[in-house]
Structure 1
Amino acid sequence: QRRVAFLELAVEELGLGDRVEVVRGRAEETKRRFDVVVCRAVAPLEKLLKWTAPLCGKTGALVALKGSSAEDEVRAAAPVLKKLGLAAEVLELSVAPGIEPTRAIRVSA
């Protein structure tokens, strides 16, 4: 619940309330589709895709924060990505000056 409260506060402070909705719950329990699904520390990409691909529909994207394991996870998930007709790209994200960047995986059709 603390993470949800933080995200809701961030959405409000950034003035994104008209475009961003924070949803807490299990992926397999919703039938909704989203433009972007963001995940952090949930599961390896191969398993995560099975849960999140239906949430993204044909035009949405998944952004999974992964850190140093990103490249390995994309390689391991290659068969699932191919089966689902998806492409993955590893992004290096700068957090702040002097702090080591982190990595995320963006998955889309």
Structure 2
Amino acid sequence: MLRREAGRNPQDQRMAHLVGELSLADDDFRRWWGDHHIASRTRGSKSLRHPIAGDLTLDWDALTCAGDPEQQLVVWTAEPDTLSHDALRLLASWTATTTDHSVADR
């Protein structure tokens, strides 16, 4: 994704500085960047650690807008009947509770 962003605006000095900094600091990054491989991924899975909900394994899908390919909507989901699914439901309930109180206070 970094390479794709860098390719969209090759004159971006901040991006060039970041790539240079990462290249100096990490041999693997320097090798990967030099390979010039751009992977376009539209789905995947990621493991995350939420400070309250704990370890989560989430699937993601990136939907690109046909009218403006620079815009994407990324949707994160969890397999039903998993700890990750339960954790997302817990986090969603907090949001619903907060929203309900905000409306009631008006």
Whether the TM-score (by the shorter chain) exceeds 0.5 is: no
Name the TM tier (shorter chain). under 0.3
RCO (CA 8 Å, sep 6+): is it higher in 1 or 2? Answer: 1
Question: What is the TM-score of this pair, normalised by structure 1?
Answer: 0.23
Question: Highest CA radius of gyration, 1 or 2?
Answer: 2
More strand by share: 2
Question: What is the TM-score of this pair, normalised by structure 2?
Answer: 0.23
